Structure 1
Amino acid sequence: MSENPSAQHRTVNAHGAVDLSALAGSSGQQPASSSSPGGGQDSWTAAVAPQQLQQIVQLSAQVPALVLIHGQDAVSQQFLSSLQHAVDAQRGRIVLATIDAAASPELAQQAGKLPVVTAFLSGQPIAEFDSTAPADQLPQVVTQILQLATQNGITGTVKPLSRTAGEDDDAETEPELPPLHQKAHRALEEGDYDAALTAFEQAVKENPGDAEAKLGIAQVQLMKRTQGADLAAVRQRAAENPEDVRAQTDVADVDVLGGHVEDAFNRLIRYIQTHFGDDRETARKHLVELFSIVGDTDPRVAAARKKLASALF
C-alpha cells in the first residue's frame, strides 16, 4: 500500500506500526470467542491467542482487521469496550482481535505502551493508534480505516466472530445498518457495482439526508470508473492530452484509489487554475467528489480545499 490517508491524523500514525504478523503462528484453530455463546448480540470482536493472529491477518484481505493488545487496567478496558462498539456498529465491514498482554508478554513488550491497536489491510500493517485517541473519536478512526480500505478495493463483509455476553442484551447497542445499506454491501462483496449503486441511490431517494449512502454512491462510482483501468495507458493519455479534462480526472481517480491522494488533488487544482468554462467546472465538481471519498477529517482534504479556493478566487 503506497500511502495511508490517515497517517497525518493525530490519532492514527502509520509510522513504526508493530508488525504483529511476524509473530503469528499457523494454528488451525478458529479465533476464540470473547463471550459465552449462550446469548447476547453478534460481535465482530474476538479474543485471540498469538498463534491465531495469522488468521486475523489473512482476514484483512476481505475487511480491515484491527489487533488490540491491552491490559486489565481501567484505561485498557474502557478503550476495548469503546473500540468494540465502534467495530460492531459496522456489522462485519471491519473486525477486531484482542490480545491480553498478561497472557502474551512477548507481544506486550514489543508493543510498548498499552493499549495499542495495529490496523491491517491486505495482510500488511498500515496504521497504529492508542488510548491518546479519545473514546468518542474511535468511531471516526474506524471510519477513516474503512475509507482507506475502500480506496484500495477492500469492501467485503464477514460473519460475526463471537457473541457478546447475554447480560448485555438490555444495554444500549449500536443500530444495524439500514436494509438498503446491507444490500449495497452484499452487492459490493459480490463485485456487483451496479446493484450496490442502485441500493445506495434508493437509500438517498428514501432519505435525502443519508450522508453514508451519498458517500457510498461516490465510492462505488469511483470503483466503477476505475474498474479494469490500465494505469499506464491512463497516465499516457493524460500526458498527451493536458487540455482534456476527462483524461485528467481519470488519472486523479486511479491516484485516489491507489492511495496517491495528494497527487490527485494537486493535478485537478492545477487544471482548475489554468482552465475556465465548463471544463473548469467539471474538474471542480470531480475534485469535490474526491474530497468526500477521502473524508473531510483528512488533513490533506483541508489543505486542498484552501488551494482550491485560491485557484477559484
Structure 2
Amino acid sequence: MAGAVDLSGLKARAEQRGSAPRGAAPGGAAAPPAGGDGAPVVEGAPPPAGGHVIEVTEDNFQTEVLERSMTVPVVVDLWAEWCQPCKQLSPTLEKLAAEGGGAWILATVDVDANPRIAQMFQVQSIPTVYVVVAQQPVTSFNGVQPEPELRSWIGQILDALRERMPAIAEAEARAGQDGGGEPAEPAPEPEDPRFTAAEDALERGDYDAAVFAYENILAEEPANTEAQAALAQVRFMSRAEQADPSAVTRADAAPDDVEAQKAAADAELAAGQVEAAFDRLVKTVQRTAGDDRDAAREHLVGLFELFAADDPRVTASRRALARALY
C-alpha cells in the first residue's frame, strides 16, 4: 500500500529550514490521511502557484507537496530523463493537470537529481506516480497508463475528496467560469490494441508477455520507434528486478567475468549511475576479445537504447566504445 511510505525524512529536513508544514500535528507529526476515518475537513484555497504543474526538488518538497496536499491532492510523478515510458506518461499527466484548473496539482520529480525523494517513496521502477493528500501518500501506480484510464482514476480521486477538500470544488468552479461553463472533455484518442495488450501485461508484471507483444508489433512494423523503445525498457526492467544487490562488488572482484560486468552495469543503471554503467562496459570491451568482447559490446548498445539518441551520456559513451573497438 502506498500509505506505508514514510515522508517524514524530507519533511523534517524542510522543517529545519525554518517553516513547519501547514496543518501539521503538534510536535511536527503529519496530519492523518484524508482518505481515512476522521480525516480533517480542509477549507480555503490552495497556496498560490505558478501553474498546475510544478517541478519539485528536495528543497521545495515541503512547500510544493506537503503544504499543498492539505488543500488539494498532489499527484507526484517520479521520472528520469533516460526513461522512455516516462516520456509517454508525463505529457499526458501535464495535459490533465492543465484541464483540472487547480483542482489537483502535478508535482514532477527527477529521481536522478533528487534521490532522497525517490528513497522516501520507495521507488523500485519508473515511471511511478503517487497521490499525496493531507501530507500522506494514499494511492499509487507504476508504468504507463492510457489517457482514458488516467482521466477516470483522477476523477475518482477528486470525487472521493471533494467534500473533505472544498478547494477542489472551488478550482473546478473557477475553471468552469473561465471557460464559460464546464469544460468539454476531449475525445480520447483511439487506442492501439497491440500496445494495450503489452501495457496490460506490464501492469501485471508479466514481462515475458509484454516482450512478446512488443516483438509482434516490431515484426509487423520494424521501424516503430515507440515499440522499439518500450521493448528495450521492458527487457531492462525484467533484468533489473532480478538483479543481485552484490552484483557490483562481485564484478569489481572479477574484472574478466563478462557476465558479472553486465549484471553490475544493469545494477548501476537501475540506481541512476548511468555514466558508471557505460564506463564499466566500455572498459570490459577494451580488455576482452572474441565472443566476450561481442557480448559486452552488445549489452552496452542495448543500454544505449534506453535513452534518447542525442543524450550526451550516450554520445560520449559511443565515442569511447568506438575508440575501444578500433
Contact 2:65 2:107 in 1 (8 A): no
Q: In 1, Cα distance between the equivalents of 2:75 and 2:65?
A: 9
Task: Establish whether residue 285 from structure 1 lines up as the match of residue 273 from structure 2.
Answer: no
Distance 1:121 1:184, change over 3 A: farther
Q: Which residue of 2 aligns with 1:52?
A: 72
Q: Which has the higher contact order (CA 8 A, sep 6+)?
A: 1
Q: In 2, Cα distance between the equivalents of 1:213 and 1:121?
A: 24
Secondary structure of the residue aligned to 1:230 is coil
Contact 2:251 2:264 in 1 (8 A): yes
Deviation of the 1:286 alpha carbon: 0.8
**2:108 is matched by which residue type in structure 1?**
A
Q: In 1, Cα distance between the equivalents of 2:259 and 2:281?
A: 11
| Larger Rg over CA atoms | 2
Select which of 245, 253, 262 maps to 1:240: 253
Contact 2:89 2:144 in 1 (8 A): no
Distance 1:156 1:167, change over 3 A: closer
Deviation of the 1:221 alpha carbon: 1.1
Q: Which residue of 2 aligns with 1:296?
A: 309
For residues 26-45 of structure 1, the aligned pairs below 5 Å read: 26=70
Q: Which residue of 2 aligns with 1:251?
A: 264
TM-score under structure 1 normalisation? 0.56
Task: Establish whether residue 120 from structure 1 lines up as the match of residue 109 from structure 2.
Answer: yes
Contact 1:249 1:283 in 2 (8 A): yes
Q: Show structure 2 runs of 5+ residues with no match.
A: 1-54, 116-124, 130-140, 156-181
Contact 1:251 1:264 in 2 (8 A): yes
Q: In 2, Cα distance between the equivalents of 1:268 and 1:306?
A: 13
Deviation of the 1:167 alpha carbon: 8.8
Q: Which residue of 2 aligns with 1:181?
A: 195
For residues 1-313 of structure 1, the aligned pairs below 5 Å read: 18-19=60-61, 20-26=64-70, 51-53=71-73, 55-57=74-76, 60=77, 90=88, 94-96=92-94, 97-98=97-98, 119-120=108-109, 149=126, 154-157=142-145, 158-160=149-151, 161=154, 165-166=183-184, 175-232=189-246, 234-313=247-326
Deviation of the 1:176 alpha carbon: 4.4
Q: Which residue of 1 aligns with 2:42?
A: none
**2:69 is matched by which residue type in structure 1?**
G
Q: In 2, Cα distance between the equivalents of 1:93 and 1:186?
A: 20
**1:52 is matched by which residue type in structure 2?**
V
Secondary structure of the residue aligned to 2:109 is strand
Contact 1:92 1:159 in 2 (8 A): no
Deviation of the 1:214 alpha carbon: 1.6
Q: In 1, Cα distance between the equivalents of 2:307 and 2:185?
A: 39
Q: Which residue of 2 aligns with 1:131?
A: none
Q: In 2, Cα distance between the equivalents of 1:230 and 1:90?
A: 29
Contact 1:64 1:93 in 2 (8 A): no
Q: Which residue of 2 aligns with 1:81?
A: none
Secondary structure of the residue aligned to 1:56 is strand
Contact 1:238 1:244 in 2 (8 A): yes
**1:155 is matched by which residue type in structure 2?**
G
Q: Which residue of 1 aligns with 2:16?
A: none
Deviation of the 1:91 alpha carbon: 6.9
Secondary structure of the residue aligned to 1:119 is strand
**1:24 is matched by which residue type in structure 2?**
R
Contact 1:18 1:118 in 2 (8 A): no
Q: In 2, Cα distance between the equivalents of 1:215 and 1:284?
A: 19
Deviation of the 1:284 alpha carbon: 0.8
Contact 2:75 2:107 in 1 (8 A): no
Secondary structure of the residue aligned to 1:239 is helix
Contact 2:79 2:128 in 1 (8 A): no
